[in-house]
Amino acid sequence: MLCEKCKKKKAVIYYTENLYGELRSFNLCTECADSMRMSGELEEFSAAISGLSSEVTEIPRALPSGLSSLSIPKYSPVRSDSGIKCPGCGIGLSEISESRLVGCVRCYGVFADELSAAVDIMNFSSLGAARKYSGDPPRSHRVKLEMLDKISKLRGELTEAVNSENYELCATLRDRIRDMEKAFAIK
Amino acid sequence: MAWYNIPGNEQDVVISTRYRLSRNIAEFPFPTRLDAASAKEIINRIGGVLEANGFNKTDFSEISHANAYSLAEKMYITPDFIRESLPHALYLNEPCNLSAMLCRREHIQLQCILPGFDLKDASSAVQKIEELLDSKFNFAYDERFGYLTSDPAYLGSGAEISVLLFLPALRRACFILPLSEKLSKCGMCLKSFFSESTESNIYILTNKITDVPQAKLVEYFSRTVREIIDSERAQRREIVGEEYERIADAATRAEGVLRYANLLSYSDFLKYSAEVRLGISLGMITDVKTELLTALLIESLPATLCASGDGATSKNRSSISVEKERASYVKERLTA
Ligand SMILES: [Zn+2]
Ligand SMILES: [Zn+2]
């Protein structure tokens, strides 16, 4: 293994920010490490982070353990970037492939095919055969579902009221639906 | 007291348990596409709720370099969080071992870290805070993908479990590789924790699957950890006769190094403390406690060492002075 700074001498793994595996080994020869320490670029504990040299700051962004090997092939832009950008955040597929980070909630709609393929391989496997999230939803979502359910019931009642020409009931139902939709929009 | 100073369950095999949940607020883009003003708004809104619940804010512009990295060494944050360019903040509730990184890769990464094996407590502590936030904010969520995250690796429940395991006997028996292959088929990942020092015999087990309810994941993960604990202990019982004598000798020699060395690099500390740790669990060493070794695992990391000692901020510390300081700190803790 060669020193990542001079790329000539044999490196010892100098210091590793190895906290839950999130930043990994850092290979320097003792001379490079010493000269960097002299110039203040390297502190023992922050070698990986505060080093000013570009070689030193280029630490690969680590994926959660074990996921990196699986996710790389799916993320590499095999198919050419269609040029489509997410209207929510302006990110394109090639940027997502590069950073391995999605820009916003709407990206998941725009790039659904590409992302769902990656997700199937990565985290939606063995345990959940459904290939669909089967975990707990947030409270807001449960409330939303209940609300939507109530609104659709009221709509049914409204149709009946219209058919039976019960205009007084129609007016009340319309008000209730409008109130609920308003509350929903605010939320 | 911080988590690493407290004796943990099954601490002869398990060093720590961490449970982390990633959440995002639906109305804002993820941190990769977020502007500074929105990041501040998120921090203020979430942070306000956290502060009302025993969390304290840490502003990285106000603390020393050593103190910032020390927080990473104590596993409250990830090291990359410190140099995040977007406004970001740590909220820490140290008595409860809870911490929240706001505006790292996700808007919210909430975690609990406990000594030993304690997945139930760690997960429920995190879920309690998560439920509180859930009642006040609109989390990004989708029926197909679950909780939406910037890093698709967390999609689904957003739950990330990691457990640090001390597996010297399984390693001696060459069982680590088959074990990690088996675990990877079960949606888990076992890796050496200190990649430069396999002699530490410390491994990290994490989950890869995120599409199931958290309770089910916790149960499944716990069962697996129990199995690993059992097989490690079974292998330790196999150490007898000549082999036992050799290991006992190595353990007492290692204790000698920790007690009397004048210079101690961190990788040396890892190597010798691993031998002592095994020696304690086999009954060869009785005057050192396992929890002390766990405390030293954190406290003798360079930033924490510097932050606690004097001259904390001196920039050009040579590695020899750090090794000297580590040796004397370890010596002091062992004799206390
Ligand atoms: Zn070099
Ligand atoms: Zn987007």
Q: Which string of DSSP letters, residue by residue, matches B149-164?
A: -SSGGGTBT-EEEEEE
Of A48, A65, A138, the CB nearest to B191: A65
Question: How close does chain B come to A16, measured CA to CA in Å?
Answer: 8
- Ligand 1 centroid vs A5 CA: distance in angstroms? 5
Pairwise CA distance, residues B327 & B264, whole Å: 5
The set of residues, in sequence order, having a beta carbon less than 8 Å from that of B235 and lying 6+ positions away, is B169, B170, B172, B173, B175
3-class DSSP assignment, residue A72: helix
Which residues of chain B are within 8 Å of residue A50 when distances are taken between CB atoms?
Answer: 65, 83
Domain(s) of CATH 3.30.590.10: residues in chain B: 3-236
Q: Cβ–Cβ of B208/A49 closer than 8 Å?
A: no
Higher-pLDDT residue of A66, B189? B189
Greatest Cα pair distance in chain B: 67
Residue A50: pLDDT band with limits 50, 70, 90? very low
- Ligand 2 centroid vs B105 CA: distance in angstroms? 15
Pairwise CA distance, residues B58 & B67, whole Å: 11
- Ligand 2 centroid vs B235 CA: distance in angstroms? 51
The continuous run of DSSP H or E covering B16 comes out as strand B14-23
Question: How close does chain B come to A70, measured CA to CA in Å?
Answer: 10
H helices, E strands: number in chain A: 9, 2
Q: Cβ–Cβ of A139/B162 closer than 8 Å?
A: no
Within an 8 Å CB–CB cutoff, is residue A147 touching chain B? no
| Average pLDDT of the residues in B174-198 | 85
B-chain residue closest to A71, CA distance: B153
Question: Over the stretch A97-148, which tens digit does the pLDDT of each residue have?
Answer: 888 889 999 988 888 877 776 666 555 654 444 567 878 888 777 777 788 8
Q: For the domain B3-236, what is the CATH code?
A: 3.30.590.10
Greatest Cα pair distance in chain A: 91
Residue B93: pLDDT band with limits 50, 70, 90? very high
Residue A152 has pLDDT above 90, yes or no: no
Question: Over the stretch B283-315, which tens digit does the pLDDT of each residue have?
Answer: 999 999 999 999 999 999 988 988 776 544 445
Question: Over the stretch A30-41, which tens digit does the pLDDT of each residue have?
Answer: 777 767 665 545
* Length reported for chain B: 336
Within an 8 Å CB–CB cutoff, is residue B237 touching chain A? no
Residue that has been written with the tokens 């929240």 in this structure: B100
Question: Over the stretch B223-274, which tens digit does the pLDDT of each residue have?
Answer: 999 999 999 999 999 999 999 999 999 999 999 999 999 999 998 999 999 9
Pairwise CA distance, residues B328 & B44, whole Å: 43
Letter for the amino acid at B205? L
Does residue B130 contact residue A137 with C-beta atoms inside 8 Å?
Answer: no
HSE at residue B177, side-chain half, CA atoms within 13 A, is 3
Q: Which structure tokens are listed for B3?
A: 């988590």
- Residues pairing with B15 in the sheet: none
Within an 8 Å CB–CB cutoff, is residue B286 touching chain A? no
Highest averaged pLDDT of the listed ranges B99-113, B150-164, B208-222:
B99-113
Highest averaged pLDDT of the listed ranges A24-33, B80-89, B143-152, B323-332:
B323-332
DSSP state of B272: H
- Residues pairing with B162 in the sheet: B18, B206
Which residues of chain B are within 8 Å of residue A58 when distances are taken between CB atoms?
Answer: none
Residue B289: C-alpha distances to residues B5, B255, B292, B295 (Å): 11, 12, 5, 10
Mutation target vs A (from B147, B196, B324; most A CBs, 10 A cutoff): B196
- Ligand 1 centroid vs A11 CA: distance in angstroms? 7
Does residue B279 contact residue B255 with C-beta atoms inside 8 Å?
Answer: yes
Q: Cβ–Cβ of A46/B65 closer than 8 Å?
A: yes
Residue A185: pLDDT band with limits 50, 70, 90? low
DSSP state of A138: P
Pairwise CA distance, residues A144 & A156, whole Å: 18
